[in-house]
Amino acid sequence: MEASFDVLTLPVLPLESEAVLPGMVVPLELSDAEVRAAVEAAQSAAPRGEKPRVLLVPRLDGSYPALGVVGRVEQVGRLADGDPGALVRGLRRARVGAGTTGPGRALWVEVGPVDESEPSPLPGAVAELVKEYRALATSWLRKRGAWQAVDRVAGIEEVGALADNAGYFPFLTAEQRATLLSTLDPVERLRHASRWLSDHLAEEEVSESIAKDVQDGVERQQREFLLRRQLEAVRKELAELDGGSPDGDEADPRARVEAADLPERVRQAALKEVEKLERASDASPEAGWLRTWLDTVLELPWQVRTEDSYDIPGARAVLDADHAGLTDVKERITEYLAVRKRRADRGLGVVGGRRGGAVLALVGPPGVGKTSLGESVAKAMGRKFVRVALGGVRDEAEIRGHRRTYVGALPGRIVRAVKEAGSMNPVVLLDEIDKVGADYRGDPSAALLEVLDPAQNHTFRDHYLEVELDLSDVVFLATANALEAIPQPLLDRMELVRLDGYTEEEKVTIARDHLLPRQLGLAGLTADEVTVEEAALRRLATEYTSEAGVRGLERMIARVLRKVTAQAELGELTLPHAVTADGLRRLVGRPHHVPEAAQEPGVRRTSVPGVATGLAVTGAGGDVLYVEASLADAETGGAGLTLTGQLGDVMRESGQIALAYLRSRGAELELPVGDLRERGIHLHVPAGAVPKDGPSAGVTMTTALASLLSGRRVRPEVAMTGEVSLTGRVLPVGGVKQKLLAAHRAGLTTVIIPARNEPDLDDLPAEVLETLRVHPVADVRQVLELALAPAGAPAESPATLAA
């Protein structure tokens, strides 16, 4: 280290993004104009016999620091690559002063000395720091075989010089070298150098460990690759000897299994089957079964799950946009997503290995949108959708899969649905679950018990796969028309959501927003060419169709648009054309479903005594049911009760109970029941080709008989439902919502229901309740008071009930 100096005037040699420390000898390229100007100026100003000096200053971020290093130009010549250069040695730190003038084009500044005094003798802590640094530097240098540098480090005694020697380490950044340059305390400077060197050695150790592991893995893979290629060549030779094709199966099953992202239990099961395949001959049937099984297992998306859309308002908006009404199922899906979002936000994860998928049973008449609702649910949740048609399925193996020992064995429809969806959490729609049958091959509905049980389906085991499949994150939607056709144990595992049909307003909304645009596209028309007025849509929904859903309504809209298209092509009308309510008759003929209440008084069925209007539930939704009663002539007819209309046992019993009640209470009701012993009674329910059963016609039969005996007509605007007991109590029945919707569609305004069914009114749409007067009753006397018109009232002027 050069001795101290007072004040010097030196040219500035700037170093771009680099710093030189005292004691370092570095080559500098003279291709840079500023570097060359500084060296030339130093040479011209140097006294004869002395080597020129410069001030080495790092330039970081375009600025100069307050400290630099006085450097001596040892030699000027050419570097190893042939470019002009200079060899400069750093001598000691110097403080940069004011600028001054000097020869040449370089920048000259005044520099002053810097105090870098060191403690002497070295304290114990500093001595330990020096020892630690030497050990770290020696370790790093020995790894690179720099034995001369090791000796040089061991010979440096001064703390500051030892720290400045760290400037030679190539892994130090320019900022770190600048930090060493600006740190005047030698001990603090050595701490910096020691910490950076220690960190680098730790990083190198980790990198070397990783590199070693990678190298070992590569060597093992290369060894396995060579062995497998040899095994493959042997198999090809054997296949040729056996007469087979040497290129039949080029993929190595073991490699495919190991490369696949499988759960550990599935991986172990697959590797066992691979061992069997490796031992089996390629010509054996077992080899084909094993390959097919492995292909099936590897194609399943074991680790693939789509992220649920936790935009709850957005999901509800999707459901509302795709379907009008259906509030119950929309609320249930919204609740499911809200709970999933809350658990995800709080990091609660899965519960007991189960992720909490939903199992919903959508039960309702045809055409209400049960199947299409599944696609909307999947879209709202951001999941894949797959439909499984169960109508007519009679083989249990269709659900749980075939054993692999059978020829042509396949996994069940549930596994195939997951495979088709490509994720482990799709929305699976089990369509027409009430149409599942049973025969000698088993009962598919029994096989569905484990699939649809939230407490069991996380370990579902298909007969073909024979490994556990987690179905707990699948959202199952089952659709059915008849609730009674679903086995009770299966129904117990699902959450029931009833879709009881649409009101008139909902039908018009669906037709306007969904059915009409779709049918316009199918007919090759645009909304600018053909418009259908809302009054026309309303008339199509009420007079041209009579259904709980909208399937028939869509067919009528399609028929109207086809007629318009055909007439436009024939020149009978011009486009654009507006379809009005009055114009429907010219396009599709007269309406076929005029409500009973809208007909002429003398044409109505209730215009004569002995006819009552009841309400029933069928597979197609709610419907209006008429019960007719007549008395046989005393001379020609025999005594007894005759029931016709293809009635079931329960409905026949209702007729007998109604007759028995009137016979026992005739005097109280002021009915002439004395001659019933001698005259036969005939109860008939029209539409005899349609089977009918159920207890809900009890009050209707009683009212029809009471009307016949009393001669009082049943009010034409009144419909009723309820079971009757021998004591005259009106007992509750099912399907009240569907029945009231049917009464609303039929144009009836007053409905009598059992008092214990009054809570069911909460499920009814508000617009329907506004048009109906519903009377909950508990006794048959109340039914007769409300339903029967006063004696002698004309059929064409029916009395109006009080609200």
Largest separation between any pair of C-alpha atoms in the chain: 160
**Number of folded domains that form the chain:** 5
Inform me whether the pLDDT recorded for 377 exceeds 60: yes
How many percent of the chain have pLDDT more than 90?
Answer: 0
Mean per-residue pLDDT, 505-522: 87
- Inside any domain, residue 291: no
Q: What is the pLDDT of residues 655-672, one digit of tens each?
A: 888 888 888 887 777 777
Inform me whether the pLDDT recorded for 120 exceeds 70: no
Question: How high is the pLDDT of residue 801?
Answer: 37
* CB half-sphere exposure, 110, CA atoms < 13 A: 7
Nearest-angstrom CA–CA distance, 441 and 395: 5
Question: How high is the pLDDT of residue 710?
Answer: 81
Exactly one of 370, 563, 737, 739 is catalytic; name it: 739
Look at residues 102, 130, 110 and name the one whose alpha carbon lies nearest to residue 118.
130
Is there a single domain that holds both residue 699 and residue 668? Answer: yes
- Inside any domain, residue 144: yes
Q: What is the pLDDT of residues 407-461, one digit of tens each?
A: 778 888 888 888 888 888 888 898 888 888 777 777 787 888 888 887 787 888 8
Of 77-81, 285-289, 543-547, 689-693, the least confident: 689-693
Cis peptide before 576 (omega within 30 of 0): yes
Q: Indicate the helix (H) or strand (E) that contains 707.
A: helix 698-710
Q: Which residues pair with 63 in a beta bridge?
A: 60
Token digits for 116? Answer: 């870098």
Helix (H, G, I), strand (E, B) or coil at 174: helix
Is there a single domain that holds both residue 332 and residue 396? Answer: yes
Nearest-angstrom CA–CA distance, 599 and 219: 92
Nearest-angstrom CA–CA distance, 223 and 230: 11
For 495, residues 6+ apart whose C-beta sits below 8 A from its C-beta are 332, 358, 359, 360, 361
Beta strand 773-777 pairing with 750-754: parallel
Distances in whole angstroms, Cα of residue 521 to Cα of each of 50, 126, 540, 588? 97, 88, 20, 20
Question: How high is the pLDDT of residue 389?
Answer: 87
Phi, psi angle pair for 771, to nearest 5°: -95, -10
Give the amino acid at 176.
Q
Q: What is the pLDDT of residues 706-729, one digit of tens each?
A: 888 888 888 888 888 888 888 888
Phi, psi angle pair for 362, to nearest 5°: -95, 110
Q: Where are the alpha helices (DSSP H) in 323-457?
A: 327-345, 370-381, 397-400, 413-421, 444-451
For 420, residues 6+ apart whose C-beta sits below 8 A from its C-beta are 386
Is there a single domain that holds both residue 483 and residue 513? Answer: no
Residue with tokens 């999941």: 383
Mean per-residue pLDDT, 123-136: 80
Is there a single domain that holds both residue 387 and residue 449? Answer: yes
Is there a single domain that holds both residue 476 and residue 530? Answer: no
Residue 248 confidence class, pLDDT cut points 50, 70, 90: very low
Question: How high is the pLDDT of residue 355?
Answer: 60
Q: Which residues pair with 388 in a beta bridge?
A: 430
Look at residues 714, 511, 571, 755 and name the one whose alpha carbon lies nearest to residue 629.
714
Inform me whether the pLDDT recorded for 797 exceeds 50: no
Q: Which of 559-563, 594-598, 638-642 has the highest mean pLDDT?
A: 559-563
739 is catalytic: yes
Exactly one of 376, 696, 707, 737 is catalytic; name it: 696
Nearest-angstrom CA–CA distance, 473 and 355: 5
- Inside any domain, residue 797: no
Burial class (CB in 10 A: 0-12, 13-18, 19+), 148: exposed
Of 84-93, 512-521, 546-555, 632-641, the least confident: 632-641
Q: Annotate 67-114 with three-state secondary structure.
A: EEEEEEEEEEEECCCCCEEEEEEEEEEEEEEEEECCCCCCCEEEEEEC
- Inside any domain, residue 190: yes
For the whole model, what pTM was predicted?
A: 0.58
CATH number (domain holding residue 607)? 3.30.230.10
- For residue 368, what is the DSSP state? S
User: Domain limits at 477?
Assistant: 312-498
Contact 373/323 with Cβ under 8 angstroms?
yes
Is there a single domain that holds both residue 109 and residue 124? Answer: no
Residue with tokens 């049909």: 501
Average pLDDT, the chain: 80
Nearest-angstrom CA–CA distance, 11 and 100: 9
Of 332-341, 480-489, 572-581, 794-803, the least confident: 794-803
Domain boundary at 588, 619, 645, which? 588
For 256, residues 6+ apart whose C-beta sits below 8 A from its C-beta are 294, 298
Inform me whether the pLDDT recorded for 620 exceeds 70: no
User: Length of the chain in residues, anyone?
Assistant: 803
Give the amino acid at 247.
D
- Considering Cα of 513, then 518, then 519, then 523, what sign does the dihedral take? positive
Higher pLDDT, 311 or 87: 87
Burial class (CB in 10 A: 0-12, 13-18, 19+), 149: middle
Higher pLDDT, 95 or 101: 95
Domain boundary at 534, 555, 588, which? 588
- Considering Cα of 415, then 421, then 427, then 429, what sign does the dihedral take? negative
Q: Which of 123-132, 355-364, 408-417, 637-646 has the highest mean pLDDT?
A: 408-417
DSSP string, 435-461: G---BTTB-HHHHHHHHT-TTTGGGEE
Inform me whether the pLDDT recorded for 25 exceeds 80: yes
Question: How high is the pLDDT of residue 191?
Answer: 86
Residue with tokens 């690179």: 144
Question: How high is the pLDDT of residue 800?
Answer: 39
Question: How high is the pLDDT of residue 5?
Answer: 63
Of 169-183, 505-519, 660-674, 711-725, the least confident: 660-674
Nearest-angstrom CA–CA distance, 415 and 428: 11
Phi/psi-derived region of residue 612, left when phi > 0, alpha when psi is between -120 and 50, beta in every other case: beta
Higher pLDDT, 487 or 225: 487
Burial class (CB in 10 A: 0-12, 13-18, 19+), 594: middle
Question: How high is the pLDDT of residue 596?
Answer: 57
Question: How high is the pLDDT of residue 793?
Answer: 59
- For residue 585, what is the DSSP state? H
Is there a single domain that holds both residue 345 and residue 480? Answer: yes
Inform me whether the pLDDT recorded for 278 exceeds 80: no
Helix (H, G, I), strand (E, B) or coil at 643: strand
Cis peptide before 366 (omega within 30 of 0): no
Distances in whole angstroms, Cα of residue 415 to Cα of each of 32, 327, 460, 630? 72, 31, 10, 59
Question: How high is the pLDDT of residue 675?
Answer: 62
For 339, residues 6+ apart whose C-beta sits below 8 A from its C-beta are 356
Q: Annotate 13-49 with three-state secondary structure.
A: EEEECCCCCCCCEEEEECCCHHHHHHHHHHHHHCCCC
Q: Indicate the helix (H) or strand (E) that contains 239.
A: helix 186-241
Question: How high is the pLDDT of residue 122?
Answer: 65
CATH number (domain holding residue 47)? 2.30.130.40
Contact 622/500 with Cβ under 8 angstroms?
yes
CATH number (domain holding residue 556)? 1.10.8.60
- Inside any domain, residue 302: no
Question: How high is the pLDDT of residue 634?
Answer: 56
Inform me whether the pLDDT recorded for 243 exceeds 60: no
Contact 424/473 with Cβ under 8 angstroms?
yes
Of 381-390, 645-654, 713-722, the least confident: 645-654
Contact 451/415 with Cβ under 8 angstroms?
no
For 21, residues 6+ apart whose C-beta sits below 8 A from its C-beta are 69, 90, 164, 165, 166, 167, 177, 180, 181
Is there a single domain that holds both residue 577 and residue 608? Answer: no
Q: Where are the alpha helices (DSSP H) in 389-503?
A: 397-400, 413-421, 444-451, 488-492
Phi, psi angle pair for 604, to nearest 5°: -65, 150
Is there a single domain that holds both residue 560 and residue 666? Answer: no
Instruction: Find the distance separating the first CA and the last CA of the chain, reported in whole Å.
Output: 115
- For residue 530, what is the DSSP state? E
Residue 77 neighbours by CB distance under 10 Å: 10
Inform me whether the pLDDT recorded for 54 exceeds 50: yes
How many percent of the chain have pLDDT more than 70?
Answer: 89
Is there a single domain that holds both residue 372 and residue 349? Answer: yes
Question: How high is the pLDDT of residue 613?
Answer: 87
- Inside any domain, residue 263: no
Token digits for 658? Answer: 């109604």
Helix (H, G, I), strand (E, B) or coil at 168: helix
Distances in whole angstroms, Cα of residue 466 to Cα of each of 205, 287, 411? 46, 17, 10
Give the amino acid at 789.
A
- Inside any domain, residue 104: yes
Question: How high is the pLDDT of residue 638?
Answer: 60
- Inside any domain, residue 509: yes
Question: How high is the pLDDT of residue 594?
Answer: 64
Is there a single domain that holds both residue 705 and residue 737? Answer: yes
Question: How high is the pLDDT of residue 2?
Answer: 52
Contact 66/98 with Cβ under 8 angstroms?
no
Domain boundary at 61, 91, 113, which? 113
Is there a single domain that holds both residue 569 and residue 623? Answer: no
Inform me whether the pLDDT recorded for 649 exceeds 50: yes
Token digits for 386? Answer: 């797959």
Inform me whether the pLDDT recorded for 239 exceeds 70: no
